[in-house]
């Protein structure tokens, strides 16, 4: 079947697709937990396999090469998701800065507002965010100091920053509403 696909045999490729499509879809679904994304990634995997069929190797079986292609497609998707998250965060930060400027939040009052927002976090997140962003400790140092894993530190920081953005955005929104009323 590999050689037929390498030579452009569409029937052999269709048969291979029908045989492996469900397993590739499940592979993506287990990783993304998103039905639509999994369908798109599955389609992209088979499209890429067909587009680059002439570069397939006869040293490895077709299934191995299919899953390698799927893994590369998944890595590209993760990179794209990370890039989109960064862009969205930057847009939110920009909007928040403009809103703060519009209602007269000064740079000197910002640390006080941030400290107040941090005080609304759960105790462990407060410790982790203060150690990381205020005192400048590395994840590894925080993990050792608090006797938790580095992954747990990362999770706490991610959740704390998300929660802080929500708190600060809410404060800005309330301030904007108050500013327009008076």
Question: For residue 134, what are its two tokens?
Answer: 């205020």
User: Which residue, 24, 5, 30, 68, is CA-closest to 76?
Assistant: 68
Strand, coil or helix: what is 7?
Answer: coil
C-alpha angle with apex 178: 173 to 180, nearest 5 degrees?
Answer: 95
In a domain, 125, yes or no: yes
The domain boundary residue, chosen from 79, 112, 140: 79
In a domain, 72, yes or no: yes
Question: For residue 79, what are its two tokens?
Answer: 């990179």
Q: Write down the pLDDT at residue 121.
A: 86
Q: Write down the pLDDT at residue 107.
A: 60
In a domain, 130, yes or no: yes
In a domain, 90, yes or no: no
Which CATH number fits the domain that encloses residue 10? 1.10.1740.10
Q: Write down the pLDDT at residue 182.
A: 46
Residues of the chain with pLDDT under 70: 95-110, 171-182
Residue 16, domain extent: 2-79
Q: Are residues 74 and 108 in the same domain?
A: no
Q: Are residues 119 and 159 in the same domain?
A: yes
Q: Write down the pLDDT at residue 35.
A: 92
Q: Are 5 and 56 in contact (CB under 8 A)?
A: yes
Q: Are residues 59 and 127 in the same domain?
A: no
In a domain, 140, yes or no: yes
Q: Are residues 132 and 177 in the same domain?
A: yes
Q: Write down the pLDDT at residue 101.
A: 62
Q: Write down the pLDDT at residue 180.
A: 54
Q: Are residues 25 and 63 in the same domain?
A: yes
| DSSP-derived secondary structure for 122-148 | -HHHHHHHIIIIIS---HHHHHHHHT-
In a domain, 89, yes or no: no
In a domain, 86, yes or no: no
Count of domains forming the chain: 2
Q: Write down the pLDDT at residue 116.
A: 80
pTM of the model: 0.53
Q: Write down the pLDDT at residue 115.
A: 81
Q: What single DSSP character describes residue 159? A: H
In a domain, 99, yes or no: no
């Amino acid at each position: 079947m590999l050689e037929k696909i390498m030579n452009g045999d569409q029937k052999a490729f269709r048969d291979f697709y029908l045989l492996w499509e469900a397993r590739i879809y499940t592979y993506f679904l287990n990783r993304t937990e998103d039905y639509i994304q999994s369908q798109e990634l599955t389609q992209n995997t088979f499209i890429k396999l067909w587009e680059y069929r002439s570069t397939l190797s006869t040293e490895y079986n077709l299934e191995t090469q299919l899953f390698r292609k799927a893994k590369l497609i998944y890595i590209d998707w993760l990179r794209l998701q990370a890039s989109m998250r960064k862009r969205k965060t930057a847009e939110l930060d920009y909007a928040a800065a403009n809103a703060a400027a519009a209602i007269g939040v000064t740079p000197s009052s910002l640390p006080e507002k941030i400290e107040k927002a941090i005080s609304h976090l759960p105790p462990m997140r407060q410790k982790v965010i203060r150690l990381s962003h205020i005192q400048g400790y590395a994840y590894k140092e925080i993990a050792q100091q608090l006797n938790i894993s580095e992954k747990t530190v990362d999770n706490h920081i991610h959740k704390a920053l998300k929660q802080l953005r929500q708190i600060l955005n809410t404060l800005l929104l309330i301030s904007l509403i108050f500013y327009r009323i008076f």
